[in-house]
Structure formats: structure tokens, C-alpha cells
Structure 1
């Protein structure tokens, strides 16, 4: 909720207005842009539903919320989407100074029933493990677009970077050393305060899949001296000034996957990050080393990749004589 201007004398009025404006700006930045957009989209959907069914949206009654989430479940929405909508409704009520109807016991019981009925497992995209990445890179040639895509795939994979981290990289964030690339990630999903962290990407043993050499080649060909590392490329091979979007990263991964004979529907931008963790686990890298590269602060999320990569390492079923 934004700060309201209280009455004060004319001498301090202008300064107070400036402080209020600044405070409201800081408050809005307490959440990432993507989170704010998601809240706005969810709230718009809920208010439109309320208008259609003649219900009050703010404040909404617990019964209204129950009818709404039942509609979503009945229409086949994923439980993860419904959960986010519930959170958005709660945030909107709290921001407006109302008690959240989502905390009502009947709403909670209904939500638990929906989860038990439809399940909560997420349908994650397939991890692009090392063999997949090699196949993708093998499809790329020497055009400006291909050189960019090769650098993007290899740095995204070796750095275990999120799409948002890839597209916000600037030339100033990357140092070329004798050991490889030292990359400073200024801000990420789990670092909204912008404390930053550094990761190292070493030279690859194979020139064709070396992330360091691919980056150097991209910078040389593109002529980029500062600012965004990954940018759009025109059909004529000209490098644009605009930064590549996170959706652009997903399109690159899907396009290269399809060219490599893989199913593009199973791959997305996150496939590079999950593929690194899975590949590293299969290769015997420690949990700590994997987390240092991915930036995970707890093992809850990274455990899924580590466990998947370790399914056939020291597998008991391989020792029973089948």
C-alpha cells in the first residue's frame, strides 16, 4: 500500500512529497518486475471472473474464493497456477488493508482437496545434459547468429545460469583470465537485493564446445565493447542494440534442439541450468560444488537435479544379477 500524504506546513510540503514518492518507489521495488506482472495478471483474471459471476472482488468473501478456485480446477488449470492465484488474491487484500479471505479454514480445506485430487507435481522441461548440448552446438555454423547462439548455449550451460541472468549480463561483468571467464552476476531470482556473486567458467577441453573461446569469438564478431552481451541479430547478420529477452533465450534453445533432432517442446531456457546440475551430478561433482555454480542457497531445489543425475550411480538394481 502506498504512503498517503499527511497535512503539513507549506515549507516542508515539497520535501515531504519527494520523500513519499521515493518511499513508494522503494516499496514497489520490493518485488521483482516479473513477480509484480504475475500479481497484476492474476488479479485481473480474478476480478474479471468476479464480474462475470456477479461477485465482489475487493473485499472478496471466502465463498467467492472457493467458487473461483473450484472453477480453475474444473477448467484444468495446473495446481501451481491456482496456488499463485491464491497468493495474488491474498496480496491484493493485504495491500488494500483487508483481511485475506484465502486464510479462511474452508478455503484451505478446499485447496487441500484440489491438491490431493489433481496432484502437485510440476511438469518440468527436460534437462539439456552434455550430450544434448553437444548435439545442439554441432548444428551451428559460422554466421553471426550461430556464433551468438553457440556462446549463449555454452555459457548458459557451463554457468548454470537462469534466463534472466543470461540476458542481464554486460561485457563489464565478464573478465577473461588465464583460467577462463570470471562472471559477476549482479542480481538474480534469489538475490533481489543485488548483493551479487561470482562464478568461474573454465576453458573447455574441446575447442568446439569451449564456452570461453565461444564468448571471445562472439565479442570479436559482434564488436560489442560495453553493455549487453547477448543481443538480437537481424536476418542480415547485424547486431542490434537491444538486449535479448528471456523469451529469446528459450527460442534459441528450442530452435537448436529441433535442429539437433530433439523434441523442441521438451526443452526451454531452464533446460541449460538443470542440464548442468544433472550432468555434474552424473560426473560425481559434490553437492556443494554444484550449488556454488547454480547459486542455490538451499538443497531443496537442487536436490531434484542431483538425485536424477545419480539414479544410476551405485545403483542397487545393477548388483542383483539381472
Structure 2
């Protein structure tokens, strides 16, 4: 691979690259389309899948087709008026309410953390290393994910070297890149120590229990209690969270990794955080993105300064 190809490849995220490949394969193989495509064939492709695929999925397919044509030096057929008009018509005829993860409310957070603390204590007494490690890791991941409003990819990218802890005061976490960081500039997040449900204490307990000094913060643990060298994959966060909730007696079917982010946003909104402060803390760039995560509740009109975390 040439240096040019390497940098071009690095400019597109792995998940996007896989999605685009799957979209092109669906157009060519599954549907029988021909590349380079015409605007008419793209419009017919949309019509064939209207009401079957979600509008957002169709938009992703169009983005993949646009990227393929542009990269190959062909005119982009997805920009044709007929394609845009067909997509608009599909959106009007097949409106769909976007599915959202159930927010993890503070009551459920307290319940699962209390259970994990009890589980860790019992595992320690019975010298069950694997169970102790999982309970300690899951507690740290859930509390950090909630109080920082992190996505699963941000949690999985955390490195021990990029986290600084001031016991009893707070924690700073540097994330080199994330979904919202399109330019890969990296960002440092800060979270204070709390009187209860403290992410700082949970993080310290996990590092101490797992004896981690460098590398990924959150890792897999095998049945014998061996901690893996690689970080968790973002896709593993949902089953990890659901398993922890189910062990704590919480029906977990409607919870995903976004439940932590939505849970914090809902908690902050109900406790009077103004939207500007909430957007700044979580890292949203526009109001529309923020409002998707906030449960509809009466707004109390208080500012961040009136409602501290500690």
C-alpha cells in the first residue's frame, strides 16, 4: 500500500468502510445493479426497497454509491433530482419513528451498581477471580459511561496512559478519536469525584484489581480470570451491559450502550442543566442531536452552577 493509499484509507473510519462495502455489494449482487450506475437505476433501487429498508439505511446506501462513483472518477448519480425526489417521497409515504434506547435511570444505575459491588465482595470472599474482575470492570464501565455520557466506542478507546486521576477530586480522560471527532483532534473530558456512585473510585478499583498500568482500560476476561491484552470491541458493550442489568434483576431487553448516554442526559435535564451546558459537557455540536437523547420532562430552568454533580 502506497503512502497516498494509506492516508486515504485512514481518512475513512473502519465501520464506515465496512458499511459502504456491504452497501455496494447489496446494490450489485443482491439487487443486480450495474456500476457505474445511472440516476434512473439508483431511483429504481430506492423504489424496490421503499418500506423494506429504513430511510436512514437508504441514505447510507446512497452515500456509499456516491463515494464509489466519486472515487472512481464517475459522475455521482445520487445527486440527480429524480433520486432526491424519490427519497423525499419515500420519507413521506413511509414515515418511521426512530427507535431509541431506553435511558438508564438513576434508580436502575443505583440498583445495578449495588449488585455489582455485592457480587465483587462475594467473589473476593470465595476467591473467584474471574467473577471479581468482571464485577469490578462492569461497575467502572457503567459508571464512567453514565456520568461522562460516553458512547461505546469512546469507552473502548480509553487508554490507561491517557487517564489521570486525582483521588477524591476527579478524573480526566483523553479520547484520541471518536464518532463526533471527525477531524481526529482528540478531546479531554473531566468528571468530578462523587459522594456516591463515584466513577473515579470505580475506575481506581478496576485498575487496582486488574493490575493495569498501560494499554486499554476495558478488556475481555476469560473464564479463568485472565485479563486480555486488547480492548473491548464497541459491539461487546451492549451484551456486557445487558448481562450486568439482568444479573441485578433489571429487564434489559430495551437497553443498549446508548442507554448510559441517554440516561445521563435525561438526569441532567431533569435536574435543571441548561441545554448549552449539557451539550458542552457531553460533546454535542447541535441542539437537534442533544434533544434526541433527552427524555421529555419539565424543564426547571436551573444552570450548571446551580446543580453540581458532587
Normalised by the shorter chain, which TM-score bucket? Answer: 0.7 to 0.9
Asked if 2 retains the 8 angstrom alpha-carbon contact of 1:204 and 1:211, the reply is yes
SS at match of 1:240: strand
Q: 2:191 matched to 1:191?
A: no
SS at match of 1:235: coil
Partner of 2:149: 160
Partner of 1:106: 82
Asked if 2 retains the 8 angstrom alpha-carbon contact of 1:137 and 1:256, the reply is no
Deviations 1:257-304 (A, max 9, x none): 333444322111111112111111111122232122211122220123
Number of aligned pairs? 287
Question: Equivalent of 2:20, from 39, 44, 54?
Answer: 39
After TM superposition, the structure 1 stretch with the greater mean CA deviation from structure 2, 216-225 or 133-142, is 133-142
Residue 89 to residue 120, structure 1, CA distance change in 2 (3 Å): farther
How far the C-alpha of 1:148 sits from its partner, in A, is 0.5
Partner of 2:288: 300
Question: Equivalent of 2:140, from 145, 151, 163?
Answer: 151
How far the C-alpha of 1:120 sits from its partner, in A, is 4.8
After TM superposition, the structure 1 stretch with the greater mean CA deviation from structure 2, 166-175 or 123-132, is 123-132
Partner of 2:162: 173
Partner of 2:125: none
How far the C-alpha of 1:150 sits from its partner, in A, is 0.4
TM-score (norm 1): 0.84
Counterpart CA distance in 1 for 2:192 and 2:81 is: 53
Partner of 2:227: 239
TM-score (norm 2): 0.87
Structure 1 segments, 4+ long, off by >4 Å, are none
SS at match of 2:188: strand
Partner of 1:6: none
How far the C-alpha of 1:122 sits from its partner, in A, is 1.4
Q: Greater CA radius of gyration, 1 or 2? A: 1
SS at match of 1:264: coil
How far the C-alpha of 1:163 sits from its partner, in A, is 0.7
Any residues of structure 2 matched to 1:274-293 within 5 Å, and which? 274-293=262-281
Counterpart CA distance in 2 for 1:120 and 1:45 is: 22
SS at match of 2:2: helix
Q: Which runs of 5+ in 2 are unaligned?
A: 121-131, 302-310
How far the C-alpha of 1:229 sits from its partner, in A, is 0.4
RMSD: 1.9
Counterpart CA distance in 1 for 2:88 and 2:248 is: 42
Asked if 2 retains the 8 angstrom alpha-carbon contact of 1:61 and 1:101, the reply is yes
Residue 228 to residue 303, structure 1, CA distance change in 2 (3 Å): same
